[in-house]
Amino acid sequence: MRVRVIGAGIFGLTAAYELARRGARVDLVEAKAGPGLGCSFLAGGMIAPWCERESAEPIVTQLGLEGLDFWTRQFPVAVQTGSLVVAPARDKPEVERFSRRTSAFEICDGPRIGALEPDLARRFAYGLFFPHEAYVEPRAAMKALALAIAEFPDARVRYGLVESPDDDAGFDWTVDCRGFAARRDLPDLRGVKGEMLILRTRDVKLSRPVRMLHPRHPVYIVPHGPHHFMVGATMIENEEPGRVTARGMMELLGAAYTLHPAFGEAEIVETGADVRPSFPDNLPRLALRPRERRLFINGAYRHGFLLGPALAKRAADIILDDVRQTELLA
Amino acid sequence: MSVAKPDDALRVYGVDLASRLMVGTSMYNSPAILADAVRASGCEIVTVSLRREAGGTRAGQSFWDLVKSLNVRVLPNTAGCRSVQEAVTTAHMAREIFETDWVKLEVIGDDDTLQPDVFGLVEAARILAGEGFRVFPYTTEDLIVGQKLIEAGCEVLMPWGAPIGSGRGLNNPYGLKSMRAHFPGVPLVVDAGLGAPSQAAAAMEMGYDAILLNTAIAKAGDAVAMAHAFKLATQAGREAFLADPMSPRDMAAPSTPVLGRAFT
């Protein structure tokens, strides 16, 4: 079985890896110069199936557990130190609300928060600890996946190649993972803008992602390599990629500063903005076009790393075993 | 049965509305849930915040198209605007995008408390009304501010129940009742601060004409069910107001005479 996968973002990479692992002859093509240079490049990389339940459908947690298994066992590049949820004292109702919507956490008082993250000691009196959650460094994880795919004997990975999805060139199947670029083929796909930034400081150490709750601007801060922290991400119903706004940065920096004042002295290493490909219910889809032997995997919204592995498995079930049992099939 | 009179429409700027609930469109978990919630609320007006979604171009078009597809009247709002100029510019943009001269006018005094800047509000209302906009001002329960807004050309007033997003309900029932008494002929809408349907019912029982809210529905565990609950509560409060509720009294009022006691 020869399968062409178009797009080496997180969906394309996880799909190509799963297909190759299960014996398909995979040809992964990407228009950009390397893997993971689209919107996945700006991802937070949190593998947080329980936390995400706060605002996502139950299926996100369900499929996210497969993602957690993938990143911690099958392709173990994740750090599984759990995640921490805190809020300034005046926003304690937000933590209570978060706790009502989620599960598999431990309620933390100030000393417990200090024990988990010594640099946050005496800064927060109330929080939630999700011990089983994990995070990956997205860029390193995607490079590792791309290398792993290229090592399968019948696999080929090519960059800088714009290939028309309509030209099937002798492939049995095409798996289309072009994200927002596939919009013309998926009319109800929309973009949800997100902005992020990366800070560098030696004055703060965090062992795990920390979510700072706020009624209007919830923000997460994820360790991103030595002394680096990724701060994300705004959520705007807007399809304008690339433009980083002062307002977005103020929200993110304000939250980082509230988490720890030492972030005020941190260096801003990078800022970024892009759009998340999203369907109206903010759930991903496997869109099957059987006559064209084409399968779209799209609509990652903000769950690409969390849900990529589970979607890849279902895509491979469809293509290799003709098993079509998934509620995400459209 | 005389409940829910068919002619009990709310007339605002020459438009008759059967539903007395207006719903905001931000903070839902997904546009699909937003659409279901709007349907469940039975509302005929939704507010849309332009400022954030606009970007440098018309990049928010997908979302706006989605809102337009709900087949309800759009009341664009100037949410988050901090100055008169910003609010006026946003209103102009809204008129172009949504092809309506209706605008919910917010001029926010402070990003932390989100209190209306009533001085800027009156000024912006005067400018916009002068340009032909139909202004729905988000204000406090201050009577003199209300008067000045009407002088500026507003035909409806929207006092807060409590600070935006706080879910505290009717913070100042006395002030809201005074406002109702002071502006008997003006459509009054309680806008912002409501958390539970009972609070919407309470405002309607006071004689308020309509309710506008967003967070209480969008951030509920089940937004669609909560939208329906607010629909019922708003309707219940309205019907109760029209039915002329009894006045409270200090003593029990036995429904049958108590033998052997005079006047009880």
User: Is the predicted ipTM greater than 0.90, yes or no?
Assistant: no
Separation of alpha carbons B229 and A118, rounded Å: 45
User: Would you call B59 and A55 a contact, using CB atoms and an 8 Å cutoff?
Assistant: no
| pLDDT value, residue B248 | 85
Give the count of beta carbons closer than 10 Å to the beta carbon of residue B167: 18
| pLDDT value, residue B62 | 80
Helix locations, A102-170, DSSP H: 110-116, 138-150
Q: Please write the tens of the pLDDT for every residue from A99-108.
A: 999 999 999 9
| pLDDT value, residue B6 | 58
Q: Please write the tens of the pLDDT for every residue from B123-140.
A: 999 999 999 999 999 999
DSSP string, B74-124: EEEE-TT--SHHHHHHHHHHHHHHH---EEEE--BS-TTT--B-HHHHHHH
| pLDDT value, residue B64 | 80
Average pLDDT over residues A79-96: 93
Taking CA–CA distances from A234, the nearest residue in chain B reads B52
pLDDT band, residue B201 (cuts 50/70/90): very high
User: Would you call A237 and B219 a contact, using CB atoms and an 8 Å cutoff?
Assistant: no
Structure tokens at A140: 């390193």
| pLDDT value, residue B2 | 45
Phi, psi of B143 (to 5 degrees): -70, -40
User: Would you call B32 and A282 a contact, using CB atoms and an 8 Å cutoff?
Assistant: yes
**Residue A117 above 80 pLDDT?**
yes
| pLDDT value, residue B1 | 42
DSSP string, B195-242: -SHHHHHHHHHTT--EEEESHHHHTSSSHHHHHHHHHHHHHHHHHHHH
pLDDT band, residue A324 (cuts 50/70/90): confident
Q: To the nearest whole number, what is the mean pLDDT of chain B?
A: 90
| B257/A84: higher pLDDT | A84
Structure tokens at B252: 């029990």
Hey, is the C-beta of B31 within 8 angstroms of any chain A C-beta?
yes
**Residue B263 above 70 pLDDT?**
no
**Residue A64 above 70 pLDDT?**
yes
Contact at 8 Å (CB) between B46 and B74? Answer: yes
Q: Please write the tens of the pLDDT for every residue from B24-62.
A: 999 999 999 999 999 999 999 999 987 655 555 566 778
Percent of chain B with pLDDT over 70: 90
| A213/B259: higher pLDDT | A213
Q: Is B219 a catalytic residue?
A: no
What global pTM score does this model have?
A: 0.88
Phi, psi of B77 (to 5 degrees): -125, 160
Q: Please write the tens of the pLDDT for every residue from A4-49.
A: 999 999 999 999 999 999 999 999 999 999 999 999 999 999 999 9
Question: Which of B29, B66, B215 is the closest to A56 by Cβ?
Answer: B29
